[in-house]
Amino acid sequence: MKKHIIFAPCIAAMVFLLNGSFLAEEPVSKKITFEIAKDYEACEFTITTEKEGNFDVALKPENGVETYTGSIEESNVCSVSVEDVKAGRWNVTVTLKEQENDQKENMNGDGSDQDPAGEATEETDETLIETEDGNEEMPAGAEELIGKIQVTAKAIDKTAFSMGNVQVARDIVGLQLYFKDHAIVAEWTDTSCGNVKVSVINTYTDQILDTKTVSGRYYEYEIPELVSEITVDIVPATSSNITGANSRFDMEVKNDPDAEITYEDKEYVNTDTIPVTVELSETYSLLFVVNGEEVKETGLLAPGEYVYDIPVTEGTNEILTYVVDTDHNMKSTPYTVIRDSIKPALTLDMEYDGITTYDDTITITGTIKDYDTLMINETEPIVAGDGSFKSEYILRDGENQLNVKATDLAGNETLYTAVVVKAIKETTLRDYAGPIGIVFLLLVGIGVKLWKRKKGEPQEKEKTDKPEKEKKVKKKPAPAQNEKDNRKKTVLIYLIVGAASVTISYLFFTHVIIGGWIPSSSMEPTLQVGDYAISNGLAYLKHEPQKGDIIIFRHADVADGETLIKRIVGVPGDSIMFIDGYVYINGELVYESYLPEETETNSFKDFENIPDGCYFVMGDNRENSEDSRFWNDPYVQKSEIRGKLLSVIPFARLKETVQDIF
């Protein structure tokens, strides 16, 4: 059975409820015992109480008959003189005086008071204790109304001369015994009792488990597992040699409150507090201790479920939640949690945001520390022992958002976001000047040969119409050498004519009229894939390129010297900005009639003061065009321009039209 014991022999005030009235069986009193070591002719005893009030004092030898009395009136001290003091144990009893009724005219015949309403009441000398929640509990006892009792004595002779002090036993005020988990705890509030000797004994075997002289006001001893009942012996060190001065308490080792404590199932947190759920089946109070420091305490709680937020600090937190019963017995439920508010340390080897690439993949490298998981979008890269990682991510056409996210066990998150643009590789305007020239020359050669043959037929006929006589003159065939020479001359003529045709054709179709197929969608809707574009290579001999011109050109940022086709948007001296998907030139919004209204033009940067001889170009398909916005050198120089679009043969659309018809 759980016990809460206050050291000091006393007669507790017992109050019970009977017919709606509180009846006092006995007055509140407290008794202490002390030892007189030898006989004296006379002694003057001084009795002091901790509390002030009106008290009756009775002094009596334990084996004697006569009682010596005194009185304390609105004070806390009185003196009692005794002659012929015998050695042995003496008792001092201090009793709270009963309150007198000043309104005797209201007393009825049976001694009870009569209130104005005529109802009988009874006066008691007990005061109710008010709890923390304002409810009244049990009547106050001796400790609350009388407190600690001290007795001092001086030996005197019969002529009243002082002979010296007499050693007496000491009281320990505010002594409490209770269990704390599987340990017995003794603590007291008395600061004047000096050192206290505490012994813990196995009640069943009389084995002394622990003996210690305590200089402070707290004693704790962990009880062995197999011990079920103990005896606690406590005495002030100054009275330890006085027989009977000690106090003994038998206690059953039992500390099992009917309550359940639940913590979050987490080893790490990143919050300032953690929730603790407490379910009580009886009336208890709670005490929360974090790393040995009390952080929260409650009053008595009715049965039910309660949730409390308990503060935690950075690092390891050892948490104990104590359930405390009305006898002050304490049972703890432990929990360890680590608070970590520091985010994972993520370092990337380069800045990936804003990168534009033609590659199908991008490799992301860096280091990570103090983390639990690392993800790049939906991919988890392999991290080496030193924290370094390398991951290849597959890109789709256009913008790709990369989220590199590292999280730790506490839930802290480090997020790096980058937008990487995979540009559609511009399939160049295919230059068919060479093939067209060769075909042209072949056709010319065939034509010349056919013409010569046709021209030579009449000559042969004329030869046959000559007189027979003349024929006979030329009967001998020409030498074979002459025929061989004629063939060489013919071949040489063909080679010269062919070379000249190739050269003229090449120069014409690469510098004057330049044709080629449109292989990509970067100029849609103006130019469709499959259209055939014809450009004027001499357009800018006397004129400067203008805004809106569609040009063919080569650029240093395009591999293999391939030819591109784009539209001029900015000319020398212009400043270009991109705001909310719109193009601003020299601070003014530009309306581009050749684009659909819903077209958005975006860029990661602006371009100020285009240099002389340079031009800013973009494809009409603004969301899918690799152009000046993304090149290292954003401008096309005039020397790189090959021509201006002259005409378009819409083969792609003609094909669709024919397919629709048939």
How many other CB atoms are found less than 10 A from the CB of residue 43?
Answer: 21
User: How many whole angstroms separate alpha carbon 448 and alpha carbon 446?
Assistant: 5
pLDDT digit string (tens) for 236-248?
Answer: 887 777 666 788 8
Residue 9 amino acid letter:
P
Q: Where is the domain boundary, 194, 227, 252? A: 252
Residue 38 lies in a domain: yes
| pLDDT for 139 | 56
Nearest to 429 by CA among 533, 550, 539: 533
| pLDDT for 113 | 43
Query: Residue 248 sits in a domain of what CATH number?
Result: 2.60.40.730
**List of the chain residues with pLDDT < 70:** 1-25, 99-140, 158-165, 167, 169-170, 242-244, 424-481, 484, 497-498, 501, 505-507, 509-511, 559-561, 662
418 and 442 share a domain?
Answer: no
Confirm if 426 and 628 have CB atoms less than 8 A apart.
no
Residue 142 lies in a domain: yes
Confirm if 51 and 147 have CB atoms less than 8 A apart.
yes
Q: Where is the domain boundary, 252, 268, 303? A: 252
Query: Residue 367 sits in a domain of what CATH number?
Result: 2.60.40.10
User: How many whole angstroms separate alpha carbon 305 and alpha carbon 279?
Assistant: 4
Token reading at 272? 């300032």
Q: Where is the domain boundary, 422, 442, 477? A: 422
143 and 116 share a domain?
Answer: yes
Confirm if 121 and 113 have CB atoms less than 8 A apart.
yes
| pLDDT for 160 | 53
Residues forming a β-bridge with 333:
321
| pTM greater than the 0.95 cutoff | no
Residue 509 lies in a domain: no
Nearest to 362 by CA among 402, 394, 390: 394
Distances (CA, A) of 11 to 156, 498, 504, 614, 625: 33, 138, 134, 110, 100
Token reading at 79? 């003196």
User: How many whole angstroms separate alpha carbon 55 and alpha carbon 96?
Assistant: 5
184 and 140 share a domain?
Answer: no
Assign 104 to helix, strand or coil.
helix
Which residue in 505, 520, 522, 535 is the catalytic one?
522
335 and 481 share a domain?
Answer: no
Residues forming a β-bridge with 93:
31, 58
CB hemisphere CA count around 126 (13 angstroms) = 25
Residue 3 lies in a domain: no
Maximum Cα interatomic distance, the chain, rounded to a whole number of Å: 205
Residue 369 lies in a domain: yes
Nearest to 319 by CA among 299, 340, 297, 293: 293
Nearest to 54 by CA among 34, 32, 31, 70: 70
| pLDDT for 480 | 64
> Can 542 be counted among the known catalytic residues?
no
| pLDDT for 89 | 85
Question: What does DSSP say about strands 120-121 and 128-130: parallel, antiparallel, or unpaired?
Answer: unpaired
Confirm if 530 and 651 have CB atoms less than 8 A apart.
yes
Assign 465 to helix, strand or coil.
coil
282 and 328 share a domain?
Answer: yes
> Can 158 be counted among the known catalytic residues?
no
pLDDT digit string (tens) for 182-198?
Answer: 999 999 987 777 889 99
Nearest to 96 by CA among 121, 78, 71: 71
493 and 550 share a domain?
Answer: no
* Rg of the chain in Å (alpha carbons): 57
654 and 521 share a domain?
Answer: yes
Element (H, E) at 498: helix 480-511
User: How many whole angstroms separate alpha carbon 278 and alpha carbon 264?
Assistant: 12
621 and 642 share a domain?
Answer: yes
Residue 348 lies in a domain: no
pLDDT digit string (tens) for 406-427?
Answer: 999 999 999 999 999 988 655 4
User: How many whole angstroms separate alpha carbon 283 and alpha carbon 133?
Assistant: 13
User: How many whole angstroms separate alpha carbon 11 and alpha carbon 7?
Assistant: 12
Residue 338 amino acid letter:
I
Confirm if 517 and 436 have CB atoms less than 8 A apart.
no
Alpha helices in 218-271, H assignment, sequence order: none
Residue keyed to tokens 């330049």: 514
Q: Residue 208 sits in which domain range?
A: 176-252
| pLDDT for 163 | 59
521 and 585 share a domain?
Answer: yes
Element (H, E) at 661: helix 651-661
400 and 437 share a domain?
Answer: no
Q: Considering its fold, how many domains does the chain have in total?
A: 6
Which residue in 566, 625, 628, 644 is the catalytic one?
566
55 and 130 share a domain?
Answer: yes
User: How many whole angstroms separate alpha carbon 459 and alpha carbon 471?
Assistant: 15
Nearest to 350 by CA among 407, 422, 418: 418
Q: Is 103 exposed, middle or buried (0-12, 13-18, 19+ CB in 10 A)?
A: exposed
User: How many whole angstroms separate alpha carbon 255 and alpha carbon 281?
Assistant: 15
64 and 107 share a domain?
Answer: yes
